[in-house]
């Protein structure tokens, strides 16, 4: 029976067992990489959320959301790992451009929120997500940016009373 290409331990070269173990490379499928990422994030949020008061369901404390959200992420990680199909596609390298675009837009949003206000900094966040997806155009940016920015302005400062500056 031929060896499946989704093996997780591939050895390079031939020789003794000792030389094979020194040349071993680990390969992981995209599904399992996603499950590990969700598991790590969920464990991180649940663990550090325990430093805050949980409260009760009637009167939730500041630790309730990160702990429950973290536990949900851990549960989703197990579902992804168990139900994920084995594929021939392996994680070759990290997609640097989308990671930089998303992290850069979040950092820019957080730094510019106080000076530009929500109405001008929210579209920067949306533009970063469009650049990361690689499928964005100016038309898509406007069609997504305007209603999402209006929804954020309506939801946070107006309906929820969050003290955010809307305009510069």
Over the stretch 2-58, which tens digit does the pLDDT of each residue have? 443 343 444 444 445 554 444 445 566 778 888 899 999 999 999 999 999 988 888
pTM (predicted TM-score): 0.53
52 with 75, same domain: the answer is: yes
Residue 65 is assigned to a structural domain of this protein? yes
The answer to whether 42 touches 4, Cβ cutoff 8 Å, is: no
Cβ-defined contacts of 152-161 (< 8 Å, 24+): 152/118, 152/122, 153/118, 153/119, 153/122, 156/118, 157/118
The domain total for the chain is 2
**Within a 13 Å sphere around the CA of 51, how many CA atoms are in the beta-carbon half?**
4
Domain closes at, from 56, 73, 92: 92
124 with 155, same domain: the answer is: yes
The answer to whether 109 touches 124, Cβ cutoff 8 Å, is: yes
How many residues are given for the chain? 168
Q: Give the domain range for residue 73.
A: 1-92
């Amino acid at each position: 029976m031929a060896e499946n290409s989704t093996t997780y331990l591939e050895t390079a070269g031939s020789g003794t067992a000792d030389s094979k173990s020194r040349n071993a490379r680990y390969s992981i499928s995209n599904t399992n990489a996603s499950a590990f990422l969700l598991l790590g994030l969920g464990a991180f949020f649940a663990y550090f959320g325990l430093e805050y008061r949980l409260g009760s369901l009637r009167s939730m404390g500041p630790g309730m959301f990160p702990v429950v959200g973290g536990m949900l992420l851990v549960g989703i990680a197990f579902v992804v790992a168990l139900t994920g199909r084995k594929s021939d596609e392996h994680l070759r390298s990290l997609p640097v451009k989308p990671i930089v675009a998303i992290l850069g837009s979040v950092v820019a949003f957080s730094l510019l929120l106080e000076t530009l206000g929500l109405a001008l900094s929210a579209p920067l966040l949306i533009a970063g997500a469009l650049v990361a997806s690689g499928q964005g155009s100016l038309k898509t940016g406007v069609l997504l940016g305007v209603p999402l920015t209006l929804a954020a302005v309506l939801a946070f400062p107006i309906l929820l009373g969050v003290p955010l500056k809307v305009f510069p």
